[in-house]
Chains A and B, each alone.
Chain A
Amino acid sequence: METKVQRSKTLVEEICAIPGGEGILDCIQCGTCSASCPNASRMDHTPRMLIAMARAGMREEVLSSNAMWFCASCYLCTVRCPRDIKPTELMHALECLAVRQSLSNERTRTPIMYRSFSDFVYSIGSVPEVGFMTWFYLLSNPLRALKMAPLALSLLKHGRMSIKARRLKPEAERQLRAILDKAEVLGGMS
């Protein structure tokens, strides 16, 4: 039971509480992850820096960073880290924390895409690509939807756009929703 007198958790403690996040304590700051990362140059802080900042308790800066949202889950850092830390998992943990604290992030659209994705999974259990993309573009920037029209048309022409979403059987849909509702009551990973 949490009580109000408890001191609030430090950022590192919060990260460690997320499965996969505990590796942050073992980092030796060698920079192998940053050097391996295909998107490091687009990140405002490299993976190694992000780890250092988190350990220094720079909550605001870390959780509003765009770095984790540029992670493509290529796992190159993870197979190379000499300390077996799984920086990819750390990136996921930071994304979770950032979303949880709903610090708005104006420097990347990725969080919005992820949100639209999970809306679909919750409601119908699968991800119809057309619906998903439309939903995403509408949430983020309707003008981009227009720019992508030629690409959508060429997919359509090649029979690669299905307009209808695949639906689970009603009882399976109910089962999935019961599981997810329970997960929500159980309140996250940590």
Chain B
Amino acid sequence: MKYYTYFPGCSSSDGGAKAYGSSALAVAKALDVELVELEDWNCCGSTPYTSVDELASLCTSARNLALAEKRGLDLVTPCSSCYVILSRTNSHLKEYPELRVKVGKALAAGDLEYHGTVRVRHLLDILVNDIGLDEIASRVKRDLSGLKVAPYYGCQVVRPGPSFDHPESPQSLDRLIESLGAEATPFPLKARCCGGSLIIPEEDVALGLVNKLLDSAVGGGAECIITVCPLCQTNLDVYQGRVNKKFKTHYKIPVLFFTQLVGLAMGMGIKELGIEKCIVSAEKILAGYIER
């Protein structure tokens, strides 16, 4: 059994990416990983917030780290954005002593202190490096051979780093797909940007980026895409219809969370993993594998 403190983030807890959170927990349990949710966590301090009020955003983020420090375990999140923000708070506090003093004073107002010892990790890192691909491969119960999967990393799981994988041509997700028995397809833009939260205020810009990504994934022969971030999944899946409308394209490629694919390989069901929540339905391409 391995133990971690778990930070789901707003989207995966009960936002649009609920299925990410629930499939992450289901898969972790099946792999003998105990993810204990950080009690009374708040928003990670998210990027949009960083731009408006730096200190408040760092303090928001630091409250989570201070709470996590009391438990003394690595803090794991499935959200790439939370991962970057929480890591950035750590490195900012380390690099800028004056800031550390200010954040310390603010935390003290809430009877908290933070000593900078929490290691922030992404769930993908835990699966690939702590549990290990051999172990995961040994738990595979369903034959996924022939399923062509595009590994979409996006940005923040590998950048700015230092991270557990290469910042521009990462491999961990490719290897995970292979260890599940499926096929990782070539995907030149696999670590390029989906537009992130710009999809709300500047939809056109983000749709342009999503269009390029979908084109790159489909061009590599993929039948589905897997992601490691709720924002990426939302942009590629929920907005796929808007891309089709804007660019007169005909994409119809399902976008799953990587935990859903792991769960499938381990024999879990579509419902159990929340796969029916994908806007672009994945049931059809998966049907053959479920019945095998």
Contacts and interface: CB of A to CB of B under 8 A. Distances in A.
B200 A113 contact: yes
Interface string B34-57: 000000101101111111111111
A159 B18 contact: yes
A160 B96 CA distance: 40
B48 A129 contact: no
A133 B276 CA distance: 24
B52 A38 contact: no
Contacts of A92: 50-51, 54
B161 interface: yes
A95 B106 CA distance: 23
Nearest to B109: A182
Interface stretch (B7-15, B251-259, B261-269): B7-15
Contacts of B111: 175
Nearest to B17: A160
A177 B100 CA distance: 19
A76 interface: yes
A155 B107 contact: no
A86, A127, A178: residue with the most chain B Cβ atoms closer than 10 Å: A127
A19 B52 contact: no
Interface string B108-123: 1111100000000000
Q: Which of B55, B103, B108 has the most CB of A within 10 A?
A: B55
B160 A78 contact: yes
Interface stretch (B138-146, B171-179, B201-209): B201-209
Contact of B18 (A42, A73, A160, A181): A160
A179 interface: yes
Interface residues of A, number: 68
Given A95-B51, A118-B52, A127-B46, A136 B200 contact: yes
A103 interface: no
A186 to B, nearest CB: 5
Contacts of A86: 160
B203 to A, nearest CB: 9
A176 B110 contact: yes
Interface of B: 10-11, 13-19, 40, 42-43, 45-60, 63, 84, 92, 95-96, 99, 102-103, 105-112, 155-156, 159-161, 167-168, 192-193, 195-198, 200-202, 205-206, 209, 238-239, 241-242, 276-279
A-B pairs with lowest CB-CB distance, top 8: A75-B159, A182-B109, A95-B51, A74-B193, A172-B40, A125-B42, A175-B110, A109-B201
22 contacts: A39-B209, A69-B201, A69-B202, A73-B84, A74-B192, A75-B160, A76-B159, A99-B51, A99-B53, A113-B48, A118-B52, A129-B10, A154-B279, A158-B276, A168-B40, A169-B40, A179-B63, A179-B106, A179-B110, A183-B55, A188-B53, A188-B54
